[in-house]
Structure 1
Amino acid sequence: MDRRSFLTKASVGGVAAAGAAALASPVVAQTLPKINWRMTSSFPKSLDTIYGAAETFANYVSGMTDGNFKIQVFAAGELVGGLQAADATAAGTVEACHTASYYYWGKDPAWALGTAVPFGPNYRQMNAWYYYGGGIDMTNKFFNKQGLQAYPCGNTGAQMGGWYRKEINTLDDLKGLKMRIGGFGGKVMEALGVVPQQIAGGDIYPSLEKGTIDAAEWIGPYDDEKLGFYKVAPYYYYPGFWEGGPTLSAMFNLKAWNKLPKAYQEVLQAASAAANSDMMANYDWKNPPALKRLVGQGTKLRPFSAEILTAAFEAANKIYADISKTNAPFKEMYDSQRAFMRESFLWLQLAEYNFDTFMMQMDNAGKL
């Protein structure tokens, strides 16, 4: 082999090797900066499903950036209280939080619509509204004014109606009842005579045990079992009509968000969407066996009466109408959600509802 031929082949090989080395690591890892953020959760580590969604999100972000963008997750109380997560993020104390926007509805009822309001959309409807109905843009038009950018990052699906120390059969049984209930649901229950209490998850059990409250709603069988509510309040009601499809949010300090490279903004959106799907699947897998265990330990399942559901529905609609008269952001989001629900149920009641109902009948008959 002559010198010219050798050098030519060596050069080609060198270029190929260099190209292979360049392709071996993601392009984003070669061109974008190393960033470290902190995310505070509104939930304790013991709730592996709902707290875990934030860690799932952070893991996706790190994986998609080859470790260049790292987000450290802190449980409620480690940096700030669970109910101060959004405030701390807006103030820049941390760059991000994982929370339920309805915790902050007391500032403005429009906060609630990012998560859930009584008799609002279910999980599938919330996703459709967010991703295809303009929900992300509508909520961020509001959240940007609070110094935040936010994306859906988890859902529990329809929740249970809570734990009660006594049976609730009529509207009269609700009058004067001290109940821990989060978000906008408390305002509707207040219209029925309930005295709502906003208490963080870790403080619910001792409050029930001491009789400081008479009832409490949290999430559903898996998480409720972990918190031990069945030991101090035997009656477990359904459905949680105030949370048909409660969506959690990954919220980012708006100034920090705007400083990110566009690629990192896309990564955060993609990681939020992935965690959103993952959390619902996690609950769907874990709730059925947890419900069986709860019943086996003496939990008494009870449905809310039609009287209570109807009264709550009418009270909620009156409240929404009153707020919409003076609150433009609330009206925009609420009207959009409600219009989509009317369209959505036309479809869901035909295929999904009838299929599910038949399969449940087969299951109850022992044929599944």
Structure 2
Amino acid sequence: MDRRSFLMGTGAVAAGTTLAAPAISQGRKEWKMVTTWPKNFPGLGTGAQRAADRITKLTDGRVTVKLFAAGELVPAFEAFDAVSNGTAELYHAPDYYFQGKHPAFPFFACVPMGLIYSEQNAWLMHGGGMELWNELSNQFNVKPFPCGNTGVQMGGWFRNEINSVDDLQGLKFRMPGLGGEALRQLGVNVIALPGGEIFQALQTGAIDGTEWVGPWNDLAFGFYRIAKNYYYPGFHEPAPTIACGVNLDAFNELSDTDKAAVENACLAEDSYMYAEFVAKNGQALNTLVNQHGVQLKEFPEEVFDAFAGACDEVIEKVGDYDALSKKILDSYRKARADYGAWTEISIQAYTNARQRTGG
């Protein structure tokens, strides 16, 4: 072989190598997930990390997801905008945080006095809820998936007892979503705060009380150090769906296989997180009451009835916003009526009977 032939051959190999390297990495993507949770916060923060890891694993690394906790890349309440405009590819948060974008978003997290976990998923998966969620979110360049749920939440922590509706007047209370709007109807000064800011606000007196999630998460935040009155049940969040919102343009660039991987990673976390909260809340409640002197109290009937009445007014107003809001409201109400009758003679009737028999 002469020198010219050798060099030409070497060049061909080199060129082939140069072209092959991008081909190997072609199609691999690095996505950023932003959350509204403190870093590694039990259940919610760790659930977001599990979802990110599942997407990476199920796509065999073709989509590698790096998680950014609240404030690391964007502030907590700017997570939706970050995904909508492509600063990040995913967010992990309840959509009621984003009702300023459209008042119907809370229906896809939770509605006060609304659906419980089993009913919410029935509506999303079999009652047209997902189609409506897509119709709403796609307007903002977001593709939504359910990606976690905490189940029925507690009513919250109060410095002072709540014995009547009058005790709510002027109360400074942290509560997001339509539940917060209902409290405003009752004279409460409602303040929206991300999770990482609640303890300090309670400690300094900027708020008189707060709801967060339930015993497991509330124990982790240490609210019992400041407020000892722990009320139930939570009227405001009977089953908050935690969303994984994906930038629609980024999602549409994926292969069908990787789209399915993202969807199934989210659905897996939806189920796993709910089971984890059921498992952990009972243990944490025992610790709060028996080790930290927390006073567990049920809302007086008068107060809970007032909550329910205010919720009806707030939800009705959402339906007046636009045609899509009315369609979502009508679909949700139909689901509550259809599923509620079965819940009453199945889950509710059984748990009531189990309690009577000591089982």
- Per the normalisation by structure 2, the TM-score is 0.90
8 Å Cα contact 2:178/2:314 also seen in 1: no
Give 1:330's aligned residue: 325
CA shift for structure 1 position 82? 1.2
In 1, Cα distance between equivalents of 2:321 and 2:203: 41
Residue 153 (structure 1) aligned with residue 142 (structure 2): no
8 Å Cα contact 1:161/1:240 also seen in 2: yes
Amino acid of the structure 1 residue aligned with 2:83 = T
CA shift for structure 1 position 345? 1.8
CA shift for structure 1 position 329? 2.0
CA shift for structure 1 position 49? 0.5
Q: Deviations over 1:139-191 (max 9, x none)?
A: 11000101111110000001001100000010000000000111121110000
In the alignment, which of 265, 277, 280 is matched to residue 283 of structure 1? 277
Residue 174 (structure 1) aligned with residue 171 (structure 2): no
Gaps of 5+ in 2: 1-23
CA shift for structure 1 position 353? 1.8
Give 2:63's aligned residue: 69
In 1, Cα distance between equivalents of 2:341 and 2:238: 17
Q: Deviations over 1:97-120 (max 9, x none)?
A: 101110011232111111012111
In 2, Cα distance between equivalents of 1:112 and 1:263: 30
CA shift for structure 1 position 206? 1.1
Amino acid of the structure 2 residue aligned with 1:316 = C
Q: Deviations over 1:78-101 (max 9, x none)?
A: 111111111111111111110111
DSSP-derived class of the 1:313 partner: helix
In 2, Cα distance between equivalents of 1:133 and 1:59: 30
CA shift for structure 1 position 361? 2.9
In 1, Cα distance between equivalents of 2:235 and 2:196: 23
Amino acid of the structure 2 residue aligned with 1:104 = F
DSSP-derived class of the 2:44 partner: coil
CA shift for structure 1 position 59? 2.1
Aligned length: 335
Give 1:98's aligned residue: 92
Distance 1:46 1:164, change over 3 A: farther
- Per the normalisation by structure 1, the TM-score is 0.88
In 2, Cα distance between equivalents of 1:70 and 1:266: 15
In the alignment, which of 198, 210, 216 is matched to residue 210 of structure 2? 216
Deviates more, 1:162-171 or 1:261-270: 261-270
Over 3 Å off, 4+ runs:
none
Amino acid of the structure 2 residue aligned with 1:94 = A
In 1, Cα distance between equivalents of 2:346 and 2:313: 32
Q: Deviations over 1:197-227 (max 9, x none)?
A: 0011111111111111101010000000000
Gaps of 5+ in 1: 1-29
Amino acid of the structure 2 residue aligned with 1:238 = Y
Q: Deviations over 1:223-262 (max 9, x none)?
A: 0000000110110011111101100100011111121112
Q: Deviations over 1:46-90 (max 9, x none)?
A: 422011121211222222222222111111111111111111111
Residue 319 (structure 1) aligned with residue 319 (structure 2): no
Amino acid of the structure 1 residue aligned with 2:310 = A
Residue 85 (structure 1) aligned with residue 60 (structure 2): no
DSSP-derived class of the 1:141 partner: helix
DSSP-derived class of the 2:258 partner: helix
8 Å Cα contact 2:155/2:232 also seen in 1: yes
Residue 51 (structure 1) aligned with residue 37 (structure 2): no
Alignment root-mean-square deviation, CA: 1.5
In the alignment, which of 246, 251, 254 is matched to residue 240 of structure 2? 246
Deviates more, 1:319-328 or 1:211-220: 319-328
CA shift for structure 1 position 31? 11
Distance 1:229 1:278, change over 3 A: same
Give 2:5's aligned residue: none
In 2, Cα distance between equivalents of 1:47 and 1:93: 23
DSSP-derived class of the 2:143 partner: strand
8 Å Cα contact 1:32/1:261 also seen in 2: no
8 Å Cα contact 1:235/1:300 also seen in 2: yes
DSSP-derived class of the 2:190 partner: strand
